[in-house]
Every structure is written in structure tokens, then in C-alpha cells.
Homo-oligomer: A and B are copies of this chain.
Amino acid sequence: MNFLLSELAARVGGEVQGDGGLRIERVAPLEEAGPAELSFFANPRYRAAFEASRAGAVVVEPGVAVPAGRTVLRVRNAYLAFARVSTLFHPPREPVPEIAPQAAVHPSAHVHPSAQVMPFACVGPGAEVGARTILFSGVVLGAEARVGDDCVLYANVNVRERCVVGHRCVLQPGVVIGADGFGFAFDPEGEEGSGPRHFKVPQAGNVVVEDDVEIGANSCVDRATLGSTVVGRGTKIDNLVQLGHNVRVGPLSILCAQVGVSGSTRLGQGVVLAGQVGLAGHLHVGDRATLLAQSGVMNDIPAGETWGGYPARPQRRWMRDEAMLRRLEELSKRVRALEKAGGTAREPEKE
């Protein structure tokens, strides 16, 4: 498979500067690309690699300065354009319609004839698998779990009983949908006075993952105590993320790796949570709010705002606090000078 560079430019609405007749056989990183390969440059950190690259052509934004003689494909939203070109060379996996003889599909389950079920996948009673969906080895669908059309569930994914996954979803390996939420009521007396215990609150709800969601490896979305935990349409979640019971994530949000969202917290639409962010329970994060990496959130976040820090506060406030902290030593010296000058000076401190 290969494409003329001019053809690729036309498909993404860009413009070739240089040799449009170049035949592109692959996409490749700047350092590795050769003369028949297309690469991508945007982050200024990689300018040296861009300039040294042997790539036949490079996708760049309109404004980018380019060394003489280099062929580029100029296009607005270059990253999106590159992604679309790359998809031509790396189309999504097609299912091979088949239920492997070593799979275990309950007689009451409904697997669409165009779906693929690999060895050691297990589809429980009453579960449903949509058209062209692929279940890798070790996938386990609980009783009455439903997975829509055109999904990919990689190895060892578990969708527990009565949970629902929409269309065109991707669950990376090891994802757990619908584990019990973490709910216990402290019982100071225990059964027949047997002493204190944490009494399990039944987690009788489910999880609803809407269409076009992707969830990263070994991430966990807990089932609701009652009702549903919801991951909104088009939201993308990275690896090792934890969503507690009754969390609601709005559409088109981005949750980076190792984020944790405590029970009943609601995120709006287009929210961005950077890596390792933690949110307390019962909060509300407004539409398009951004939380910076590792921030620890104990308050509602207004729509559109960017917060960071631990405890989290508005980004500008956080930056100012950090700057002040850096000048504290100098401030301390100035106070000492004042004390000396004024005669309120105390015994010299030991430092």
C-alpha cells in the first residue's frame, strides 16, 4: 500500500511544499524515517531531529519554518492530519467472524454472527455481543452484560453482570468494568454482638459506557451502589485509572493515566484530568475544566477553569503561591535586617 504525497495532501485538505509526486510507503518517526516515508513535526523540542531527518516528507503546521529543500505537507491541525494519514497505513483491525471452539459462550447469550470470540473468552448467560465486535482471549462478560457493535475488548477484560458498553468502544487489556463500588457501613456491634465490622453495602447498580469510549489497560470503573456509573460518549481514559461508584463522566473528556475519581463525583463535558490527579467524592467539575497533573481536588471546579496543586487551587493562584515560597528565604533576611535596624532585634537564630 502506498500513496502519492499530493493525494495524501488532498485527503487532509493540506498543501505540498516540494515534491508532491513523492510516493509514500509508510509513516515513521523523524529519527527513523527514510526517503519513502512521511513523518510529523510540531513540538519545538524536536526541531533538531526535524532538521536532521531523512524523511521523504514531513507534516507540519502552516507557520512552521522549514529548511531549504525539505518537502513538507502543510496543513492546519497537523496532528489530526497526521493521524488521519497514519490511519490509511494502519487501518483498524477487522474481525474474523468466528467463535473459537475453546471459547465458552453460554447457550442463552447472543453473539452477533459477524463478531469474533477468541479462545478462553467467556460470555455469560444472557450476555450480548454486537456486530463486528472482537473479544480477545481471556475476556469475561458477566451475566446479561451487553457490548455494542464494532468494539474491541483486548485480553483479560472483564465486564461484569448487567453492565453496558456502547458501540465503537475500545477496552485495552485488563480493564475491569463493574467491580463492586467501595461502600461499607461501619457497624459498631456486628452480627449478634460479635464485635465491630465494616458491613458491605450492596453494589446493586451497573456501569454504562457510552459510544466511542476508549479505556486504558488495567483501568477500573466501579458499578453504582444503585443506578449507574456513567462514562460519557467519546471520552478517552488512559491506563490504571480508577472511577468510583456512581461517578459520572461527561462526553469528550480526557482522563490521563493513574487518575482517581472518588464516588459520586460528576465531571462535565470536555474535562481534562492530567496524570495522577485525585478527586474527592461528591464533587462537580464543570465543562471544559482542566486539572493539572497530580493535583488533589477537594472542591467543586467551575466550568472552563484550570486548577492545580495540592490542595488544588486556580492555576494562577498556585503559581503565585509557588513563586512566593521561592522568595521566602529572602523575605526572612529582610525581616532580620529590619529587626537589626530597629532595635527589636532578637537573639540571633540558629539556622
A156 surroundings in chain B (CB, below 8 A) = 138, 140, 156, 158, 174
The complex is assembled from copies of this chain, and their number is 3
Q: How large is the interface on A (under 10, 10 to 19, 20 to 34, 35 or more residues)?
A: 35 or more
Mark the stretch among A3-11, A82-90, A108-116 that contacts chain B. A82-90
Please state if B27 and A204 are interface contacts (CB–CB under 8 Å). Answer: yes
Please state if B140 and A137 are interface contacts (CB–CB under 8 Å). Answer: yes
Residue in contact with A197 in the complex, picked from B176, B234, B239, CB distance below 8 Å: B234
Residue in contact with A260 in the complex, picked from B258, B282, B342, CB distance below 8 Å: B258
Q: Does A212 contact B (CB under 8 A)?
A: yes
Give A189-232 as 1s and 0s: 1 = Cβ < 8 Å from B's Cβ atoms: 00000001111111010000000101011101010011100000
Question: In whole angstroms, how far apart are the Cα atoms of A26 and B45 in the complex?
Answer: 55
Q: Which of A160, A172, A199, A254 lies at the interface centre, i.e. has the most chain B CB atoms within 10 A of its CB?
A: A172
User: What residue of chain B has the Cβ atom nearest to residue A222's Cβ?
Assistant: B239
A338 surroundings in chain B (CB, below 8 A) = 335, 338-339, 342, 344
Question: In whole angstroms, how far apart are the Cα atoms of A242 and B252 in the complex?
Answer: 23
Mark the stretch among A17-25, A64-72, A178-186 that contacts chain B. A178-186
Q: Does A77 contact B (CB under 8 A)?
A: yes
CB distance from A101 to the nearest CB of B (A): 9
Q: Does A94 contact B (CB under 8 A)?
A: no
Q: Does A276 contact B (CB under 8 A)?
A: yes
Please state if A337 and B331 are interface contacts (CB–CB under 8 Å). Answer: no
Residue in contact with A278 in the complex, picked from B172, B293, B322, CB distance below 8 Å: B293
CB distance from A269 to the nearest CB of B (A): 10
User: What residue of chain B has the Cβ atom nearest to residue A85's Cβ?
Assistant: B202
A185 surroundings in chain B (CB, below 8 A) = 77, 79-80, 82-83
Q: List 10 A-B contacts (CB under 8 A).
A: A82-B185, A89-B202, A89-B204, A172-B179, A172-B180, A240-B240, A276-B276, A311-B322, A325-B328, A338-B338
